[in-house]
Structure 1
Amino acid sequence: MTTLKALIVDDEEYSRKSLYFLIQENCPEVQVAGIVKSVSEARQLISAQVFNLVFLDIAMPKENGFELLPALQERNIRVIFTTAYDQYALKALKANAIDYLLKPIDIEELKTAVSKAEAWANLTSPRTPESLSSRESDESSQPTSSASRTQKKITLPNTYGFNVIDTADIIYVEADSNYSEFHLQDGEKLVISKPLKEIEDSLDPQEFLRIHKSVIVNFRYIKSYVNKNGWQIILSNGVTLPVSRRRATEFQEKAKNYFNK
């Protein structure tokens, strides 16, 4: 069982104490290592101690909970929002939160949220030298072509945990500030708080190409390529996307290689 070292941030004393006792009684995998009443106090504590989870209230005096997120993201600390207001749910999703708990906090919902946090911690925990050695041994007996090293699945966090999707199901990814919106072949859209450059680095460059500063496309879903007041591609789902002039030559070369395999 992975131990989650947690910080509680809430301006209300009753809420802090109530959440602490709920965690103590119901979540043995969580070690509450700090309790503070403001964002400024939380910043000071996370700069001095190591945490991997924060239970974070949103509506607080001076600074709200969202203003703590940059400091948490720098340290790869994940968040479970705890709030009396439900209007922040979408913003919490875009902030890559593990979960969003409404006060008064339900015990079963708390346990579910902690289970998601533990699953995330297991996925992101450093591998031991023994596990690395074992994996390297296994890989040494496998073909080392670029195709075998290519990431064919990608993990995307959502409100309830994680979506593990095949990269083949991604039609295109569109940037929205520091968020990225995945458009999947079944019509589903997933929004995560990662910049497009980070997404681009995780995808196979033989299958995907950034055709514009804000768009990455999957070659397999390209239906046509036309010049209507500038180059555009039309995807199998009917969406038309522009190809920037500076990327047009690279697109044409890669498209030729891809479709002439």
Structure 2
Amino acid sequence: MRTLIVDDERLARNELRRLLENFPKIDIVGEAANADEALPLIEDLQPDLLFLDIQMPGKNGFELLQAIEGKAPDVVFTTAYDEYAIKAFEFNALDYLLKPIELNRLTEAIHRVEEELQSHPTEAPRPSSEPGTKILGENDQVFVKDGEKCWFVKLGKVRLFESMGNYVRLYFDDQKPLVLKSLNALEDRLDAATFFRANRKHIINLNWIEKIEPWFSGGLLVTLRGGDKIEISRRQAIRFKDLLSL
């Protein structure tokens, strides 16, 4: 993977370069200290991947992405601040690494990049021109922060969303973090071809359904891989059958 490092701190660039020596597939083709240096390098070198700092003199990392013409590389943000994580997700970043960068987190980020290249070998994500309006599908990744814990998770791994008052609980792997968002607002952002509003409290990932059974009053009971059992209300069962019928 042809890789460009963009960071205004020379020591940070050197440390990241040293850590990346652990990954033979990473080919560092250049470095830049700011957006003005990075833009012509991106055009000339056509990197597959950017390790991009956010706070820099002149244009910040987000403004740099907006200024790229043509196909944009995959992006892993590197920053000392976690306050930009939600905005990073709106720009389709593959990961968000907090400085000082640890080797185990860098390894996770490289694995995500490799998975993305394998699933979309001819595509590269573009920053959204209108953040907040993009419909999110199973291949999109979202940043989730619950207390001191943070995840960057691909939506396809989330099997269930459950309303908990003003919060929504996400179910993926063995994790169940809470995010401050209403289920209705979340439903507006999710791709209806993959994520289905089962009832007032739940949105399910259709790809995780293992079994469907008739239920009371014309409803349905679905069992998800992992054992979660969710009732589809009678009203939503009609939509569900229409959605999945030939």
Q: What TM-score do the two structures reach when normalised by structure 1? A: 0.53
Q: Report which of the two structures shows the higher radius of gyration computed on alpha carbons.
A: 1
For 1:164, give the aligned amino acid: G
* Superimposed CA distance per residue, residues 191-247 of structure 1 (whole angstroms, 9 cap, x where no aligned partner): 9xxxxxx987xx65xxx9xxxxxxxx95x75xxxxxxxxxxxxx6449xxxxxxxxx
Q: 1:199 to 1:103 in 2, by over 3 A?
A: closer
Counterpart CA distance in 1 for 2:3 and 2:78 is: 13
Local SS of the residue matching 1:82: strand
Matched, 1:29 2:25: yes
Instruction: Give the drift of 1:55.
Output: 0.4
Question: Which aligned segments of 4 or more residues in structure 1 are displaced greater than 6 angstroms?
Answer: 183-191
Counterpart CA distance in 2 for 1:185 and 1:109 is: 22
Counterpart CA distance in 1 for 2:62 and 2:122 is: 28
Maintained 8 Å contact 2:75/2:94: yes
Counterpart CA distance in 2 for 1:120 and 1:164 is: 13
Q: 1:10 to 1:79 in 2, by over 3 A?
A: same
Matched, 1:52 2:36: no
Q: 1:80 to 1:73 in 2, by over 3 A?
A: farther
**Matched length:** 173
Which residue of the other structure, out of 79, 84, 96, is the alignment partner of 2:92? 96
Q: 1:166 to 1:35 in 2, by over 3 A?
A: closer
* Superimposed CA distance per residue, residues 7-29 of structure 1 (whole angstroms, 9 cap, x where no aligned partner): 100111111112112112x1112
Counterpart CA distance in 1 for 2:156 and 2:180 is: 11
Counterpart CA distance in 2 for 1:190 and 1:91 is: 15
Counterpart CA distance in 1 for 2:68 and 2:60 is: 14
Instruction: Give the drift of 1:165.
Output: 5.8
Q: Which residue in the other structure is 2:109 paired with?
A: 113
Maintained 8 Å contact 1:155/1:165: no
Matched, 1:20 2:28: no
Counterpart CA distance in 1 for 2:88 and 2:32 is: 21
Local SS of the residue matching 2:140: strand
* Superimposed CA distance per residue, residues 97-130 of structure 1 (whole angstroms, 9 cap, x where no aligned partner): 1111122211111111111111111111149xxx
For 1:93, give the aligned amino acid: F
Local SS of the residue matching 2:30: strand
Local SS of the residue matching 1:54: strand
Q: Which residue in the other structure is 2:138 paired with?
A: 154
Counterpart CA distance in 1 for 2:32 and 2:56 is: 12
Unaligned runs of 5+ in 2: 124-136, 144-151, 163-167, 182-188, 203-238
Maintained 8 Å contact 2:3/2:48: yes
Q: CA RMSD in A?
A: 4.0
For 2:154, give the aligned amino acid: F
Local SS of the residue matching 2:138: strand
Q: 1:112 to 1:99 in 2, by over 3 A?
A: same
Instruction: Give the drift of 1:155.
Output: 2.2
Q: 1:87 to 1:35 in 2, by over 3 A?
A: same
Q: 1:155 to 1:10 in 2, by over 3 A?
A: same
Counterpart CA distance in 1 for 2:39 and 2:93 is: 18
Matched, 1:163 2:149: no
Counterpart CA distance in 1 for 2:190 and 2:44 is: 31
Percentage of matched positions with identical amino acids = 33
Q: 1:86 to 1:165 in 2, by over 3 A?
A: closer
More helix by share: 1
Q: 1:125 to 1:15 in 2, by over 3 A?
A: same
